[in-house]
Amino acid sequence: MPTGYLVINMSRTLVNIIIDLTAALLFLGMIATGYILRFPLPPGSNKAFSLWGLTRHQYGDIHFWISFGLLAVLVIHLVLHWNWIVTVIVKHCHAVQTSHPSLLRSGLLTLVIVTITFIVFAWIAQHSVKSITRPIHEPRGPNSHLDGQTGSASIVQSESGDSEVAFWKNIYPIFEKNCLSCHGPQKQYAGFRADRSEDFFRDNSRKSLILPGRSDASPLIGIVSGARKDMPMADRHNLSERDVLLLRAWIDAGAKWPASPPEK
């Protein structure tokens, strides 16, 4: 057997081993990150917990890129074994008359089919997203629909009895901590600023996010509570339960936004 053939065969074997090991490691990485996203950091924990210095959202990014890498490795694996794959398919497909099929044509046809399938899947998934109009967990008692409002009111009353002080002391810090990095003086994603009252209450170019006295109907609550899923980076807008209760209490009390903080 020629020496050159042995070298090529050994090289292909080494490449196949590396590809298989890489695919196995990536697959284990998907299992590990999937477990983290399901159990240690379940949905709704992004703002409250972290694991080894990373939040649920960051693990979601890692999970995505691992899956993308696994897909790339599988494509490389198909390319390396394409001749064998086409030969096996041809032998089992009696409709094909030629014993020497065009590998280029077969490859292009497969690529087109896979691409169309992915586009159809992405379109169906994108258009199947629905907003949740009611809580997933039903109330457990006859007065349970009042629990949120009662809890939010008690939080505000326990921290401050004055509505203006409650806004600048309890409400505005929520916007400052969670929103201004993307919707503030430096950056205004979607043309929205969380440090301006008119951006919450305006009703000319977009729907008002706050309906004073009606936290249950205010779109802002749906965004920060995680009920609204049909928006970019929905999980990044989720706030803690305490912050949501404070916002509910503020809106139900009239959503007053004083022009300036009270003097100390």
What confidence score (pLDDT) does residue 25 get? 93
Global pTM value: 0.43
What confidence score (pLDDT) does residue 191 get? 82
Identify the segments of the chain with pLDDT beneath 50.
Answer: 1, 5-7, 132-153, 157-165
What residues contact residue 219 under an 8 Å CB cut-off, 6+ apart? Answer: 207, 208, 209, 210, 228
What confidence score (pLDDT) does residue 47 get? 63
Whether the CB-CB separation of 166 and 160 falls below 8 Å is answered with yes
Cβ-count burial 214-226 (b if 16+ within 10 Å, e if not): ebeebbbbbbbbb
Cα dihedral 205, 206, 210, 214 in deg (nearest 10): 110
Look at residue 55 and give its three-state secondary structure.
coil
What confidence score (pLDDT) does residue 215 get? 87
What residues contact residue 235 under an 8 Å CB cut-off, 6+ apart? Answer: 43, 46, 56, 57, 60, 226
Query: Considering just the CA atoms, what is the radius of gyration of the chain in Å?
Result: 28
What confidence score (pLDDT) does residue 28 get? 92
Residue-wise pLDDT tens digits, 190-212 = 888 888 888 888 755 567 888 88
d(C-alpha 68, C-alpha 263), whole Å = 54
What confidence score (pLDDT) does residue 144 get? 41
d(C-alpha 93, C-alpha 56), whole Å = 47
> Which position has the token pair 């706030």?
239
Residue-wise pLDDT tens digits, 147-170 = 444 444 455 544 444 444 478 888
What confidence score (pLDDT) does residue 65 get? 94
What residues contact residue 36 under an 8 Å CB cut-off, 6+ apart? Answer: 51, 56, 59
Q: In the chain, where are the structural domains located?
A: 3-126, 145-252
Whether the CB-CB separation of 249 and 155 falls below 8 Å is answered with yes
Residue-wise pLDDT tens digits, 73-103 = 988 887 777 777 767 766 666 555 555 556 5
